Amino acid sequence: MAYDDQNIFAKILRGEASAFKVYEDEFSLAFMDVMPQVDGHTLVIPKDATESLHQADPGILARTIVNVQKVADAVKEAFDSPGIMIAQLNGQAAGQTVFHLHFHVLPRKDGLDASMHAREMADFAVLEDHAARIRAVI
């Protein structure tokens, strides 16, 4: 499959779609998932047109994973979470729904059940609050 530059993450990167941004540098962007599994569910994407891990430029991937770590640390602190789940899906059979490489950062607590994708949009005011909490830690 060829990279689709009309996917929602490509549109966010170009400024054609909005996002509740958490962190950004020259290599990647972190923002709130609009269909979160748990409070604090954040996505980190490379700024490279890459569909999945298999096509990723190793240099950009290395810089992106450093930012995944930075964002995960901030999410953990902002949501007082004893654990963090990092998920990265490749291909439709693995559950990938947006075909731009991305990492899910989810705060976890004992007894919390979470699947990979929600079925409803979150309240945007709540997402902005969550993004501000994480930005304050970074």
Which phi and psi (to 5°) does residue 54 adopt?
-65, -25
Contact (CB, 8 A) for 28 and 63: yes
3-state secondary structure of 17: coil
Which is catalytic among the residues 41, 54, 100, 102? 102
Contact (CB, 8 A) for 114 and 20: no
Angle, helix 124-137 to helix 58-78, in steps of 10 degrees: 100
Active site residue 117: no
Catalytic residues: 102
